[in-house]
Every structure is written in C-alpha cells, then in structure tokens.
Amino acid sequence: PEDIYEITNPKDISSLKRALVNRLIYSIGKDPVETQERDWFFALAYVVRDLLTLRWMESMRRYYLQDAKRVYYLSMEFLIGRALGNSLLNIGCYDEFKLVLEDVGLDLEELAETEEEAALGNGGLGRLAACYLDSLATLRLPGFGYGIHYDYGMFSQRIEDGYQIEHPENWLRYGNPWEFPRPDVLYRVQFRGHVVECPNADGKRRYRWIDTEDVMAMAYDIPVPGYGGETVNNLRLWAAKASRDFELKYFNEGNYIKAVEEKTQSENLSKVLYPDDTTQMGRELRLKQEYFFVSASLQDILKKFRIDQRDFSDLPQEVAIQLNDTHPSVAIPELMRILLDEHQVPWDDAWAITVRTFSYTNHTLLPEALEVWSVRLFEELLPRHLQIIYEINHRFLTEVGERFPGDMGLIQRVSIIDEERGKRVRMAHLAIIGSHKVNGVAALHTRLMRTTIFRDFARIFPDRFVSITNGITPRRWLNQANRGLAKLITETIGPGWVTDLERLRQLAAMADEAEFRARFRAVKSANKQHLASLIAKRLNIGIDPASLFDVQIKRMHEYKRQLLNLLHVITRYNRLRAGLSQDMVPRTVIFGGKAAPGYHAAKLVIKLINDVSKVIGRDSTVAGLLKVVFVPDYNVSRAMEIMPAVELSEQISTAGMEASGTGNMKMAVNGAITIGTLDGANIEIREKVGEKNIFIFGHTAEQLDEMRRGGYDAWRFYYDNEELKLALDMISTGYFSPDEQDRFKPLIDSLLREGDRFAILADYESYIACQEEVDRLYLDSETWTRKAILNVAHSGWFSSDRAVREYAERIWNTPI
Ligand code: 26W
C-alpha cells in the first residue's frame, strides 16, 4: 500500500492519525496495544520528519533554480535542544497532533519529554548557532550548518552532597529520529604524513601531502524547519569512520585485533564534545576534531559549487563561509591548500578568493579562551597547513612592514606565530587576516575588540571590524517556551510578531492599561506556579510562587560572578536574621549552570551555593522570606521551563568580560526585569527598554580599567563595608560548611589575596543598593508589571531574525 505514510492533508486529524499508527506498526514494529511512550514519540517524530522532508526537498530545488548564493555556518557546536515541539509549531500542526494524541490517550507535552535533547554545545556560542539556523530558514535564506556528530554531547550534571558530578549523556542510545544518515556522503580526511616538493614542467614548485593517516567523514543530515513550514534547511554533521585501507594493512598481516583496535581509535574522533568553554587546552584530539569537520565541510561545499561548470574566482559570489569563533579557522589554510595544491591556482588569486569567502565571529576577549596551538603539534598533524600558515604570515608581515616601517613591535604583536613561550599558532590572528569581515557580538564587545586585543589589526584593516549584536529566536524562546504569554500577545496585537518581533512595540501602550497588566500578571503568576510545581516534583523542594523569582542561569564562571549574587543572598540572610525584614520582599533565588569538569573554582561555587541553600533552608527564622535553589543539569529544556517564570534576570558579569550574553535577551522578552552591569548586550537592552526599566549597577569597563591601573585594593573593600566583611568571614570560617571549615578558602583567597580579578568586591556595595531598589519596586506591583511589559515591548530588536539580516547585508552580501 503506497499510502502507508502519506498524509493527504496535514490539517485532517484522521489522516494524521492513520499516518501515526502506520508509522508505529511499520517503522517501529510495535502493536499499538503494547506500546510504550517512547514508541509513540518515535512514531510521531517520524511522521513530523515526513512532513518536513518534502518541504526540505522543495527548498533545495528552489535554491538550485534560483542559483542563490549559499551561506555556510561552520561551528563546532550546535546547541539545538529538543526538536519535536519546535517543529510542530514551525509547521503549524501543533494543535492537530495534540488532538490526535488525545485520541489515543496520550498527552503531547508529556510525550515531548521523552525526547533526548541534542546538547551538542556548551552554552552561548552553541545556542547562538542554533538560533541562527532557525532564522536562516525562517527568512528563506539558503543557509546551512556544518558541525560534528558527537556521540556524547554536553555531560549531564548531577548534584551529590552539593558537588557537581558529571555523567556522560548517551543521547543517541535509542537513535535520533530526526537525522538521515548518509553512508554515501563520505569524504577522506588526511592527518600527519609529510610534504614533498615536486618541481613542475613549468619550473613552478608543487607540493604534495603524502603518507597520511586517513579518517573518513560520514554525513548525517538534520532538517531545520523555518517558521510557517515553507522552507526547510539542512544541518550536516560529520561522524568519523575508519578508512578501509587502514584496516586492510593489518588484515593483510593477519592482525585482525590490531585492525579493529585502529578502527575504534580513528572513530573516537567524533566521540565527545569538549566541555570547556573558557580555557583552551591544546589537546591533540581537539585540533583533530577541528580539522576533521572543516576538511569534510569544505570538500562538500566545493562539490556543490560544481567547479567543473565554474571558475574558482566565482567562489566568493556563490558562497559565504562564516566561522563561529576560531574553532573552524583552519578552514583558511585548508581552502588555500585545495586551491594551490589540488587545482594549481596561483597564490595571489587563491588568497583573494579565500579572504572574500570567509568571515569570522569573535565571541570572547578573555585571553585564556583564545585558541593557540603549539607549532610542534600543528606540524605533526597538519604539516602542509603549517607551511601555508607560514607563507600567509610571511606575506602579511612583509606588507605590514612596508606600510608601517620601523615598527618592530607591531610585527611581533600581529604575527600569527607567537614566538614567546614556545612557538605557537594564534588562531585569532589567522582568522582575522584570512577574513574580509570580523565581527564582535555586541557594541561594547566590538569596541573593546578594536581598542584592546585586536587594536593593531583595527589599524591595519580599518574596515574589517563590524559589530553585530546577538539575537535569539522568538519561535523557541517566546512562542514555544511561553505559550501563555504568546497567546496573550497574539490576542492583543495579532500573530505577526512571531516573524516580526519588533511588532511587540505595540504592547507599549498596553502597559498603561490596568486590565492588560492584570492579564500579564496572571500569565507570569501561572508560569511561576508551573515552575514551582516542577521544582517540587523533581527536587522535592517547596518554593513560594508568590515570592520574587530572582534567577541566574548560565555556565558557571568566575567572570559571570555567581559569587556576587551569593554575597547578596548572604547579606540578605543576615539582615533578615537581624530583624530587618520590614521592607524586604520574600525571594526565591534560583541558580542553574554547569562548570567545566576541570574548573575547580567554578565547581566550588556550586558547592557553596548548595551549602548556603542548606543553611538558609534549615533556618526557620527566614522561612517564607528567603530560599535558595540550585537547579541541577541546566540545559536547553530546563531553560525553556525557567525563562517564562523569571521576574528578576541576573546579568551581573564583570564589565568588559561578557561578550554579549543571550540569556539576558530571553528573559527580557519573557517579561523579566534585568539587574545587570554595563556589559555585553545589557547596554543595548538598557538603550531599548529605557533606563527606568532596568536595574544597572557597578563599575563600567573603563572605570575598572582605571581602578586596576591605580592598583586594586581588595582589602579596602573588605574593611570599609561591615556587611561585606561579615559575609566573607562567614564563608571563610565555615559557617556554611561546619564539617570542613576551610572548604571555601580558595574562593576567599582569590578575592582578598589574589587581587579579585573579577572585581566582585568593587561592585558589592552598589549591587546591594540596587537590590534594595528591586525590593522597593516589587512592593509596587502595578509599577513593576508596567516595567515588565515595557521590557517585552522593547525587546523585539533582539530577535535573531534581525541579527541574521545584518549578517546577510553587511557580511555575506546576500541581502533579503
Ligand atoms: C576553545 C575553548 C572554548 C570553547 C568555546 C573557548 C571559548 C568558547 C566560547 C567562545 C564560549 C562562549 O560560548 N562564548 C559566549 O558566546 C555567546 C554568543 O556570542 C555570548 O553571548 C557570550 O557572551 C559568550 O561568553
């Protein structure tokens, strides 16, 4: 029967039901009377994938016929999360499938929970890539993601005795219903070996990279539906497969076991995502991952470019390649290698093509996060690429020497090779030199990029640096995550906001209407109750839905200053115990976030949060007035549950250190009020929502800079503020850790004895004062609600649709 899977009409419930039951029988192999929830989930996912597939093929055909310029987004990370709910809403079949499931006695929301999430990323950078894929598809742009098909994505976090314990997350255990494995899309990726020079007939030198150890890259395709379901784009992820010749070598020697061993070895390449998002550790496997996916992606891109019908000089008109941080920046020497060695394109032509094709997004100024690879490792793994990098560097430095004669310091500073501390390849320098545009991810971040770490490059390439403030997709972060608010907005201004988020501005006038404020408050209150019930169910902790929900959810990092938040919590606790409760609002302070497994300070902060939570939780004198909750295993699904319930959004990083932040945008659009520093996109949030509708505190980046130049005196802050001194003394004398008094000594030492690199003490006083204002405002619930509504109304600019449009216009030259 040909119509087993066919859906005649996606709005026709009975046709959907037939498709679902057929899938259950023929694809899952289960009798409907003896199925488990997971079976239904897989059957449903296959039906939805079917609905995506035809649209996906149509989209590809359309791009082909239009001969449209392609955009390729190369990223080591795509933090996608679950796909079911998002796909259903994007293709407009959510309610229909809800009915179908009810018909067979199932709840769609519950079923959706059985989906494993694709956590192929660490945090901001990976989630940004996922939001941009959604916007590319929604804007009907031919934009494709390339990344790695990790067997193990981000680890899952459990909390045992207050400590973080990492567990591997085998997300592919039951298979991934969304992906199409493509065993026929297979490329060879070379490693090691050596380079030989063979003079040509015309006397020109040619280089060949030989005797390499090879790994195969196999494609997995994941459909990316745009909103409205018209366009479906593609995310192609590469998995490592052993190459055959490699096996054969040992098989011929009769060494079967050795052959299988080597096979597993090379397939380890795509085994696991590196869980460190701030300290670069020059590990060989990581560099191999980077080159592996870059090499496969470029082969694929060039194959689709169809060189047999085109000239390479057309490449920049046909293709734009965006490098998500420096992680894929080995693509620059790789394209050069292909053009030079495999197609005999002359150097100058090859270089012009390369620079016009690539652009690079920088996501961090923190020196410890900037990628550098030892020349020795590079030479061992990628000898030809190192040669090419040397040649790129030589030509660049010669040019710089000519333009800025006599400035030897400049040559050393901008060189791709760092000659100090053992020779190293600075990937950011390579990425800047090899791209026509370099962008920062918020206005302040771009300004600091141009004036601090890359100021020499900004002088050499004045037009190369641009700012594109990050964005978030309103489909997942408002329409899907916050159904209550989405409904209220649509009832008020119509449904157009989902693809034109600036329309939220129409809500501004509603902020003055008491009836709308009441409805808005009712939505927030229901969201808080829902979160409270989840926390009760999963963590067995009772929180008061009427208390102020004060939330900091993000990776655990010293620069994000979860410790500053905690110092406020302790101070509040001390004030309450001192009987100063009269003008304090009951609060629930919620934390969530993972620490990199080797980041001891960050892990100790998690333990401190949990120890403080325990002491406060047991103290009946503050019951009902203060509660601290650490939500374990913060991920995309947890974020979607928490964002709608946030009232106070904690964005308190050391000014100048958070490149942008994107959680700040998610909370604002969900009707939270930000308490934050003048850092990253907080500055632009203040501009958009108005300074009366945000709580700003702390030193600016410039002020901190000045303070440090004059000598930062941590002890002065300690002795000058009794409440700060008390809070720190309580931590250091074991008030929260009676079983181990000096447990938190390393944290206190970093503040007092090691110079407080993140200026926590310097910002404490203004943070506390600002938190007092938060309480005052919260007591006036009408005014609070008004400001919260204005936050929603003025957050439209933070849509990733706006950000992607800016990339298209200013970097890719694919205007919409
Ligand atoms: C090489 C190890 C490594 C891995 C990942 C170093 C650094 C990273 C990322 C750059 C970390 C990251 O996710 N950065 C965040 O990117 C977001 C999207 O632009 C910004 O909003 C955040 O401010 C930035 O911290």
Three-state DSSP class for residue 453: coil
666 is catalytic: yes
* Amino acid identity for residue 292 in this structure: F
Choosing from 128, 277, 280 the residue with most ligand 1 atoms within 8 A of its CB, the one to mutate for a pocket test is: 277
Report, as ranges of residue numbers, the positions in the chain whose pLDDT lies below 50: 1-2
* 3-state DSSP of 328-377: CCCHHHHHHHHHHHHCCCCHHHHHHHHHHHEEEECCCCCHHHCCEEEHHH
Ligand 1 center–CA 802 separation, angstroms:
21
The closest of 683, 682, 649, 654 to 667, measured between CA atoms, is 649
Residue 5: what pLDDT? 64
Q: Quote the DSSP letter at residue 812.
A: I
Residue 3: what pLDDT? 55
Decide: 660 in ligand 1 pocket, CB within 6 A: yes
CA 38 to chain CA mean position, Å:
28
204 is catalytic: no
Provide the greatest CA pair distance for the chain: 91
Backbone torsions φ then ψ of 755, nearest 5 degrees: 90, 5
Residue 1: what pLDDT? 38
Spatial contact of 379 and 385, defined as CB atoms under 8 Å apart: no
Decide: 479 in ligand 1 pocket, CB within 6 A: no
- Which uninterrupted H or E stretch holds 603? helix 600-618
Residue 247: what pLDDT? 67
Structure tokens at 232: 């479906």
What is the residue whose two structure tokens read 């034109």? 500
Domains identified in the chain and CATH numbers: 67-81+116-469 (3.40.50.2000), 537-781 (3.40.50.2000)
327 is catalytic: no
Spatial contact of 310 and 318, defined as CB atoms under 8 Å apart: yes
Tens digits of per-residue pLDDT, 712-725? 999 999 999 999 99
Handedness of CA 377, 383, 385, 387 (dihedral sign): positive
Decide: 441 in ligand 1 pocket, CB within 6 A: yes
Residue 166 CB coordination number (10 Å): 16
Ligand 1 center–CA 127 separation, angstroms:
10
DSSP calls for 72-117: EEE-S-EEEE--HHHHHHHHT-HHHHHHHHHHTT--HHHHHTTSPP
Spatial contact of 169 and 258, defined as CB atoms under 8 Å apart: no
Whole-angstrom Cα distance, residue 437 to residue 359?
5
The catalytically annotated residue of 70, 337, 554, 561 is 554
Which residues is 209 bridged to in the sheet? Answer: 195
Residues with Cβ < 8 Å from 121, sequence gap 6 or more? 77, 78, 79, 127, 129, 130, 153, 154, 273
Residues with Cβ < 8 Å from 182, sequence gap 6 or more? 218, 219, 220, 221
Spatial contact of 467 and 446, defined as CB atoms under 8 Å apart: yes
From first CA to last CA, the distance across the chain in angstroms is 43
9 CB burial (10 A radius; 0-12, 13-18, 19+): exposed
554 is catalytic: yes
Residue with CA nearest ligand 1 atom 4 = 277
363 is catalytic: yes
Ligand 1 center–CA 290 separation, angstroms:
16
What Cα–Cα distance (Å) separates residue 777 from each residue in 99, 565, 580, 590, 648? 43, 19, 18, 20, 11
662 is catalytic: yes
The closest of 598, 497, 500, 586 to 546, measured between CA atoms, is 586
Whole-angstrom Cα distance, residue 730 to residue 714?
17
> Which atom of ligand 1 sits closest to the CA of residue 278?
6
Backbone torsions φ then ψ of 589, nearest 5 degrees: -100, 115
Residue 246: what pLDDT? 64
Residue with CA nearest ligand 1 atom 10 = 363
Tens digits of per-residue pLDDT, 230-256? 999 999 999 999 987 766 777 777 788
Residues with Cβ < 8 Å from 697, sequence gap 6 or more? 675, 676, 677, 763, 766, 767, 769, 770
- Which uninterrupted H or E stretch holds 549? strand 548-553
Ligand 1 center–CA 278 separation, angstroms:
7
Residue 2: what pLDDT? 43
Tens digits of per-residue pLDDT, 754-801? 999 999 999 999 999 999 999 999 999 999 999 999 999 999 999 999
Three-state DSSP class for residue 536: helix
Residue 244: what pLDDT? 79
Check residue 703 and give left, alpha or beta (phi > 0: left; psi -120 to 50: alpha). alpha
Decide: 684 in ligand 1 pocket, CB within 6 A: no
Residue 9: what pLDDT? 77
Mode of pairing for the β-strands spanning 673-676 and 587-592: unpaired
Choosing from 363, 427, 652 the residue with most ligand 1 atoms within 8 A of its CB, the one to mutate for a pocket test is: 363
